[in-house]
Amino acid sequence: MTGKQRVNDAVVGLAVLTVTIVVIAAVLWLNQSSIGDDSNKLYTRIRDVGGVGVGNQVVIRGVKSGRVDQIALGDSGWVVVRLALEENAPIPSDPVVLFASSSLFGEWQVTVLSAEGLPSDRELRAAVDDARGAGDTLPGALLPDIAQLTAVAGRIAGDVAEVADRFGVAFDDDAAMEMRSTIRSLADLSSELQTTVSKQSRNLDVVGAEVQRGIKDLSQAASLIDSVARRVDASTGSGEIGMIVSTVQAASQELLAAAGQLRVLSVDVGRTQVQLERAVANADSVFAKMNRGDGTLGLLVNNKSLYQNSDSAVVELRALLADIRANPRRYFNLRVF
């Protein structure tokens, strides 16, 4: 082998070695691997990683802080993902891991954040709680990507369109007219209700005033009863009630005695009534005889000539008395010895 061939072999070997080193460096760069890796390793488990692959970036507080180092299937349907974080990357308290799409072009990233910063999604929080309890392994959850959201939005739009079509079929011109009539009726009913409520409020005001007056009267009556009770209590304590009771007893005894006397008097009155009835009967008999002209009184009462003679006698007697007064010596002769 000549010296020229040796130089060529050395050049070829150097070129092959250089290409090999470049290929290895490119592979390491593509896998974001490094020789003598001094990064922190974190493990998380999740049911489905979605579009996340080895080499996708890990973000903490919006800052790239590492990469996905390994993805492997675990037990019981879990996927275990190893994250390689930078040496000085700050890890939040109570950390959780979210796998989500980062752009419209299919790029994915992994976000490490505190459990307090999770979105208020019930299914997402349930997935995180389901992934807890595996020692130092962090719980992970998958956020739906743009394609899934678009598909869901498309289904929602279709459902809305179908509902709109049904709404348009149900609410035609007749239904609109009926609805306007119903709304007008509701307006009239509301007006009537307002009028009724205003009237009832006035009535309630009157009733309230009456109730207040009644309460005032009851209060006054209660005060009067209280004062009477106090007076009765004071009278009982001072012996006035006993005096009243004794006085009432004495008065009742006197009333009983008076009642006895009234009974005796009623008996006497009864007897007197009998005698009066007899006297009235006798007088009636006498008057009947006088009216018939029986007896002396009957003749005197019923004889007109006797009345006329008596009248003329009275006239003559008056004339005689007048003459005696005028001429007393004619009738009386007095001598003095």
* Beta carbons within 8 Å of 28's beta carbon, 6+ residues apart: 34, 35
User: One-letter amino acid identity for 84?
Assistant: A
Is pLDDT of 108 > 60?
Answer: yes
pLDDT of residue 71: 92
pLDDT tens track for 85-97: 988 888 889 899 9
Is pLDDT of 35 > 70?
Answer: no
Tell me the pLDDT band of 110, cut-offs 50, 70 and 90.
very high
* Beta carbons within 8 Å of 57's beta carbon, 6+ residues apart: 64, 66, 67, 68, 109, 110
Bridge-based pairing state of the strands 95-101 and 79-85: unpaired
- CA distances, 82 to each of 54, 55, 261 (Å): 9, 11, 131
pLDDT tens track for 234-290: 766 666 667 777 787 888 888 888 888 888 877 777 777 777 777 777 777 766 776
CB atoms within 10 A of CB 83: 24
pLDDT of residue 297: 61
Tell me the pLDDT band of 68, cut-offs 50, 70 and 90.
very high
Tell me the pLDDT band of 19, cut-offs 50, 70 and 90.
confident
> Is 290:297 a contact under the CB 8 Å cutoff?
yes
pLDDT of residue 99: 93
pLDDT of residue 111: 92
Query: How much is the average pLDDT of 8-30?
Result: 74
Residue 106 per-residue DSSP state:
S
Q: Is the dihedral of CA 133, 136, 137, 138 positive or negative?
A: positive
pLDDT of residue 332: 64
pLDDT of residue 160: 64
Percent of the chain, pLDDT > 70? 72
3-class secondary structure, 65: strand
Is pLDDT of 82 > 90?
Answer: yes
Query: How much is the average pLDDT of 139-161?
Result: 65
Tell me the pLDDT band of 304, cut-offs 50, 70 and 90.
low
- For residue 40, count CB atoms less than 10 angstroms from its CB and return exposed for 0-12, middle for 13-18, buried for 19 or more: middle
Tell me the pLDDT band of 58, cut-offs 50, 70 and 90.
very high
Tell me the pLDDT band of 113, cut-offs 50, 70 and 90.
very high
pLDDT tens track for 167-225: 565 555 666 677 777 888 878 888 888 888 777 777 777 777 888 888 888 888 888 88
* Cα(299)–Cα(256) distance, integer angstroms: 56
